[in-house]
Amino acid sequence: MNLRTKYFNNNSDVVPALATALMHTAFFAMIMWPLILRKDGLQSDYVHHFVVAESMLREGKVLSPHFLYQLIILLVNWILFHPGLIFSAFVATLLFNASFGVIAFIWTNKMINSSNKIVNWSLAALATLLTMTVTPITIFTWKTKEVYQGYLYLNSFHNPTLTCLKPLAAIVFVLVIKSFTPKIQAATPKSRLLDISILALLTSLSIIAKPNFIICFLPALGLFMMMRSFILKKEVPWFFLALGVFVPSVLILYYQYQFTYGGSSSSGIIFAPLLVFSLSSKWLLPKFLLSILFPLVFSMLFWKQERSEKSLQLVWLIFAFGAFYTYFLAESGGRMEHGNFAWSGQISQSLLFMVTIALFAKQWSRFFEHNMITRLKLLLCLGIVTLHFISGIFWGYLYYSRQVGHYL
């Protein structure tokens, strides 16, 4: 068995996965319409990327170290017979969102693993919609109209390269987790070579979309592999992950570092604890905790049941590095206020919610098999994730109604 058949071995999952992803994408489209298509909605990062894409097309060369988004909208523009970059960006963004939804659904569906397909699909659909909608719990700052600054936002809408990165980060994470399965490690050399090539390609694409995921993933994965090998004495696919993840990552990151900070650049990477976030917000610790309250509480309450789950172990390591970069690193010079390391916290937070919500759905599917204490724990987690969900709906409404500028 290879990685591809291990993850995509049930075609019957594709229809409910697509239905769920498209359901959320319809909601997502209503938000992206004013943000991308309307001229008065172009107060976002999209404008910059449109300009870069136009310049790339005109000059015929790469102008950014992470150029995948620009390349994709140029490709979509060509495939759709040149409707314009703005409409092409709208289509591409919806495709990114739907792709992440499909990946999250299939991951959650396999995690639940109930004998009743209807129950399985229903819970996977609800869990996927939660994953794609939740934000930090911002209810307590609605009155002061401060719902973005100081929080970590896994589902922010204004940055196109993060939206492009999410499905790529998710599939790389999933395939790496599956590579630790004994049956995958026993695959034929020909099959393994193809799997390595696919993983290396996806890893490379994730980096040229935005390097923020891989800079968290590399140290977390290295630490995870050493823990499993030297402490737990488990089999680790060293060669597979070295060629599929580490080698392409190091090569591309070196190129991107030289492109961004080499030559005459006045910027660099500095250790600056809380500097960037404190420029725009106070109460950083409470806002950080409210950003990850559900995964934090769920992991604490269900650690005994889920502590052997590889995805939970790895995703918390990834988030630890993402949070460190977000709060303790910055860029010097004119790039400081850009807060570019915050994207590491956001993309790792997105995976953290995907994994913990899937595990929560698995535990919920056995609700009536649990004792009363465990049921109360599940109900508490349900209450917390509902607060995340309500905050996410409010966040989407602010964008749709074009009021978001008054609530940052």
Residues 66-101: pLDDT tens digits?
A: 999 999 999 999 999 999 888 898 899 999 999 999
Q: Is 271 helix (H, G, I), strand (E, B) or coil?
A: strand
Longest dimension (CA), the chain: 66
What's phi and psi for 270, nearest 5 deg?
-130, 155
CA-angle at 302, arms to 298 and 305, nearest 5°: 150
Q: Decide: 237 and 185 in contact? Cβ < 8 Å.
A: yes
Rounded average pLDDT per 10-residue block, the chain, 408 residues: 54 78 85 66 69 88 90 95 89 93 94 86 94 96 89 89 96 96 67 91 97 98 96 93 97 93 81 88 93 98 94 98 96 81 96 98 94 97 98 90 73
DSSP class of residue 137 equals -
Rounded distance between C-alpha atoms, residue 32 and residue 158, angstroms: 9
Range of the domain at 122: 3-406
Secondary structure letter of residue 194 according to DSSP: H
- pLDDT value at position 186? 59
Runs of H (alpha helix) within 60-159: 68-79, 85-112, 117-133
261/340 Cα distance (integer angstroms): 14
CB 217 within 8 A of CB 351: no
The residues near 64 (Cβ < 8 Å, ≥ 6 apart) are 52, 70
* Residue of 56, 59, 98, 97 lying closest to 73 (CA atoms): 56
Number of domains in the chain: 1
268-312: pLDDT as tens digits? 899 999 988 888 888 999 999 999 999 999 999 999 999 999 999
Radius of gyration of the chain (CA): 21
Query: Are 21 and 105 in contact, with CB atoms under 8 Å apart?
Result: yes
CB 133 within 8 A of CB 393: yes
Length of the chain: 408
- CB < 8 Å & 24+ apart, contacts of 78-82: none
Tell me 269's DSSP state: E
CA angle, residues 304, 307, 313, in degrees to nearest 5: 150
Instruction: Collect all residues with Cβ–Cβ distance below 8 Å to 255 and sequence separation of at least 6.
Output: 65
Query: What residues contact residue 231 under an 8 Å CB cut-off, 6+ apart?
Result: none
pLDDT at 12: 62
Instruction: Give the closest residue to 207 by CA, choosing from 347, 350, 45.
Output: 347
Residues 6+ apart with CB under 8 A from 137: 290, 291, 293, 384, 387, 388, 391
